[in-house]
Chains A and B, each alone.
Chain A
């Protein structure tokens, strides 16, 4: 965890391009991507991940039309607007899917009566 991150934030998943934290005080997931911080509820996080997952990256890669150069995404109940290139979408997917996997692991551990250590 970097030093300027609030103490209540727990790192869920990290890549070279970003981090997903969980804050148990506010019950929010925090997406840090390209120097932006977006707080999302668990529901909105799942919805945003699906939005990113359903982008037709094949179309973006193959089309010469300028309209397919970037994808504009607004996370639910957020004032932020992401304008992402193909590479950025791939990086964001990696981050969100990694976070999803770790959150599922947390669920499995809790179902088994275990829990991830706080730090």
Chain B
């Protein structure tokens, strides 16, 4: 008897489902960052607004990377439903705290998918997910470093703080050195 599902795609249903959930998560992240960018813009924090606009675009690209992978492999990628996200934040700091929490949730999700890939012996999808592992190291580092700056820079120097948090980068990723 032919294996019709395998003829269609090498991706198992459980991996396909997990990757589709990840697409949704990346798109939700993109939407959250866009809300953060909007909040920063409204409150005169132009540098941080620019930083979050860029982050929002990046998260969308992360989702699209998985979307294209699924399509190219013959699996089904679903355009995700993105629920309403919070548009208001208590403070400038709480925006970055929310960003870090979101990145941690994404990292946990990536790790869980790698576990599924290993269980299903799907090495191609695992390889794709490894790119996200490295990416998440960078994302978490940046979010943490931004929060450190809130402790290091006096609260009354808001213009300087806005400039500094938006310029944080991670150049020392050990996997890319």
Contacts and interface: CB of A to CB of B under 8 A. Distances in A.
B5 A10 contact: no
A46 B7 contact: no
A107 B3 contact: yes
B8 A42 contact: yes
Contacts of A106: 1, 3
Interface in B1-28: 1-8, 13
A79 B6 CA distance: 26
Q: Interface range on chain B: under 10, 10 to 19, 20 to 34, or 35 or more?
A: 10 to 19
Interface residues of A, number: 17
A106 B5 CA distance: 10
A24 B4 CA distance: 8
Contacts, number: 35
A72 interface: no
B5 A42 contact: yes
A110 B4 contact: no
Contacts of B4: 22, 27, 29, 41-42, 103
Interface string B130-154: 0000000000000000000000000
Given A22-B4, A41-B4, A41-B8, 7 more contacts: A22-B1, A27-B7, A42-B4, A42-B5, A46-B76, A107-B3, A107-B6
A17 interface: no
A107 B2 CA distance: 9
A105 to B, nearest CB: 10
6 closest A-B pairs (Cβ-Cβ)? A42-B4, A42-B5, A24-B2, A116-B1, A42-B8, A110-B3
A74 interface: no
Contacts of A107: 3, 5-6
Contacts of B6: 107, 110
A58 interface: no
B153 to A, nearest CB: 49
A24 B7 CA distance: 12
A118 B5 contact: no
Contacts of A47: 76
A115 interface: yes
Contacts of A110: 3, 6
Nearest to B2: A24
Contacts of A37: none
Contacts of A103: 3-5
Interface in A10-58: 10, 22, 24, 27, 29, 41-43, 46-47
Nearest to A43: B8
13 contacts: A22-B4, A24-B2, A29-B4, A42-B4, A42-B5, A46-B13, A47-B76, A106-B3, A107-B3, A107-B5, A110-B6, A115-B1, A116-B1
